[in-house]
Structure 1
Amino acid sequence: MKGFWLLIAGLYMLPSLIVAQTNTIRLKGNIKDAATHAPVPYASIGLQGKDIGTVSNSNGAFELSVAATNASDTLVVSMMGYEQQRYTLQHLAQKLEADPTVLLEPAQHLLQEVKVTGQKLETNSLGNKATPSGVGMTPFKFSNLGNEIGLLCKVKGKITYLEAFNIDIFLNDYDTLFFRMNIYTLENGLPKENILHEPVYLQFTGSKGKASIDLVPYDIVVDEDFVVSLEYVKKLHKTNLVRKEQSGLYFGAKKLFGGTMFTRYASQGKWMVSNDGLFAPKMEVVVKQ
């Protein structure tokens, strides 16, 4: 974790250097709701297909510095419940100089059709759930807002109602943990479209324990395999500065036998896949089928 903090310290020093460089494009602005002009917190900003991006803060403000060689690349601004905005990097930079506000239009969503049957539903667990043996821990290694880690959940074509999400916190030296949970469809074996119409956040305070989200109020229904992920959208603030070893944030973990884990470094970045028995976080989705 020492390397993580050295990286963060380095990032705070970058702005003064960027201003002096002519080969860097610096974006700075605020993301707002086009209808109400209220700030849109934790919106994703990223170059399509590249590991370059960030997330707006709780007030909708963001900053992102990108090499000028990416000037013609597509940059996507997105948030659940809103229509995506797409720009070339150069176009958005010019726009923000004239007006630092990016407006997102609320999305119009059709109600999802749910097939109701008289069949009795059974409660099941999907993902990388805990077992009596082979349990350990894995460190939190994220250093960039927009990082994600996700697991494949197989529903085998059954109508499936998502009830809860659980993850084990093995050790936590930060104040309040804050992550966004995402649910993705699959295309060609990779996460594709986030099916959630509103953001779902995981919050946890304490040194260890089970962090959970009640998903019942969100009425999430699927009938195809999906990926559940946690996304790093708010910087953590360390409160325990005494611990020397195993310091920071560790998730409970176990071998992911026969399963698939996905990671990506930034919003709109490329997904990386591992299905070779990786020691992965115990991320569990409780469902009724």
Structure 2
Amino acid sequence: MKRLVDPKFTLLSLLLLCTCTSLFAQMLKGTMYDAQTGEVIPYASAGVKNRSRGGIADRNGEYTIKLSGLAPTDSLVFSHIGYATLIFRVSDIDTAGRLDVKLVPRATSLSEVTVSVQREMLMLGSDKASSRYTGWGDYSSSRGRTRGLQLTPDKLPFKAVTFACRMKEMTFDSVKMRLNILGKVKGEPHLQQILQQNIYFNIYKDAKWVTVDLTPYKIVLTDTVVLAVEWVDAWMPAKTAGGNSCQLTIALGKDMGYFYERNTPNERPVLRQSMELPVMYLKGYKVGSADK
């Protein structure tokens, strides 16, 4: 006998299906703020845990995350150096509207190191460039994209005083980058940011070598780390504004080691063996008893 279907039930099912489809087909947007000062936080990370979704907020603290294809159990992660990380399940938020996020600053303590005598300067990384390169080009999708290499100091602890990187091509008016130093943290399965402050630096058109003074940050390495640079913003020449023709590339060398790459802040990064590593390095010295 043919079974009759209640038209009201069919209509209700279609409405529910459309609701579920629209829920995960939209873009979640919002602004990230400092919970204490109320000021916007530029370049904070906003994405989906272990997925290549999201990126970093723009210079006005605004972020966008594509929700299509996500499960209700997926986690949205909002983080920034110097702030406590916030994590929300997709099922716990109102995806139909904006989600403005307030990050709470956390107390930090920097180790004190006093330079009292001349030190033997050491270099970690490479300063020899080949004709090969890696880098960025598209203004809109490059924010959060990170490239770097693994470093193992011969002498520990190592006090970093200078960072340097060799550009291959730079045709933007300027690009703002963020330095990353990642290491092992007890209880965490993946490499974590060990810097306690954001270290931003600008690269200007036609730049070759870019250097950053690290002495104000009191960075002391005690183990193998990953040194990397992250694209956070860019300004294009007026004639190419709105286009994607500008380029920023970093020279590659011929040293064997481990190449680090990550395209969004919350995806699992790749650390692969390579004979072509980004030409970047840290200079510093071994910390002795006289420095403590």
Work out whether the TM-score is over 0.5: yes
Whether the 8 Å CA contact 2:76–2:88 is kept in 1: the answer is yes
Structure 1 residues 71 and 205, CA gap change in structure 2 (3 angstroms): same
Alignment partner, residue 16 of structure 1: none
Unaligned runs of 5+ in 2: 1-20, 287-292
Q: Which residue type is aligned with residue 278 of structure 2?
A: P
Alignment partner, residue 269 of structure 2: 271
CA distance in 1, matches of 2:237, 2:93: 34
Q: Which 4+ stretches in 1 moved above 6 angstroms?
A: 116-120
Q: TM-score by structure 2 length?
A: 0.78
Alignment partner, residue 26 of structure 1: 27
Instruction: State how 1:113-192 maps to structure 2 within 5 Å.
Output: 121-127=119-125, 129-131=126-128, 135-141=130-136, 143-156=141-154, 158-186=156-184, 192=191
Structure 1 residues 52 and 236, CA gap change in structure 2 (3 angstroms): farther
Whether the 8 Å CA contact 1:150–1:229 is kept in 2: the answer is yes
Q: Which residue type is aligned with residue 234 of structure 1?
A: D
Instruction: State how 1:61-140 maps to structure 2 within 5 Å.
Output: 61-94=62-95, 97=97, 100-112=99-111, 121-127=119-125, 129-131=126-128, 135-140=130-135
Instruction: State how 1:238-257 maps to structure 2 within 5 Å.
Output: 248-257=247-256
CA distance in 2, matches of 1:121, 1:271: 35
Q: Residues 76-133 of structure 1, C-alpha deviation per residue, up to 9 Å, x if partnerless?
A: 1000010000111343444x83x6421000012244376x899963211112x123xx
Structure 1 residues 119 and 144, CA gap change in structure 2 (3 angstroms): same
Indicate the SS of the match to 1:280.
coil
CA distance in 2, matches of 1:37, 1:21: 32
| 1:202 shift after superposition | 2.2
Q: Percent identity?
A: 22
Q: Residues 145-185 of structure 1, C-alpha deviation per residue, up to 9 Å, x if partnerless?
A: 21111211112461111111111112211110211111111
| 1:240 shift after superposition | 7.4
Q: TM-score by structure 1 length?
A: 0.79
Alignment partner, residue 51 of structure 2: 50
Whether the 8 Å CA contact 1:180–1:232 is kept in 2: the answer is yes
| 1:70 shift after superposition | 3.1
Whether the 8 Å CA contact 1:123–1:286 is kept in 2: the answer is yes
Q: Which residue type is aligned with residue 192 of structure 2?
A: E
Instruction: State how 1:3-18 maps to structure 2 within 5 Å.
Output: none
Unaligned runs of 5+ in 1: 1-19
State yes or no: 1:198 paired with 2:191: no
Q: Which has the larger radius of gyration?
A: 2
CA distance in 1, matches of 2:214, 2:179: 10
Q: CA RMSD in A?
A: 2.8
Structure 1 residues 81 and 213, CA gap change in structure 2 (3 angstroms): same
Structure 1 range deviating more: 248-257 or 36-45:
248-257
CA distance in 1, matches of 2:165, 2:115: 31
Whether the 8 Å CA contact 2:143–2:233 is kept in 1: the answer is yes
Whether the 8 Å CA contact 2:146–2:231 is kept in 1: the answer is yes
Whether the 8 Å CA contact 2:31–2:99 is kept in 1: the answer is yes
CA distance in 1, matches of 2:260, 2:146: 8
CA distance in 1, matches of 2:43, 2:63: 9
Whether the 8 Å CA contact 1:174–1:240 is kept in 2: the answer is no
Q: Which residue type is aligned with residue 168 of structure 2?
A: F
| 1:285 shift after superposition | 0.9
Structure 1 residues 35 and 111, CA gap change in structure 2 (3 angstroms): same
CA distance in 1, matches of 2:37, 2:185: 35
Whether the 8 Å CA contact 1:175–1:239 is kept in 2: the answer is no
Structure 1 residues 100 and 21, CA gap change in structure 2 (3 angstroms): closer
CA distance in 2, matches of 1:185, 1:59: 29
Whether the 8 Å CA contact 1:137–1:250 is kept in 2: the answer is no
Q: Which residue type is aligned with residue 81 of structure 2?
A: M
Alignment partner, residue 280 of structure 2: 283
Indicate the SS of the match to 1:50.
coil
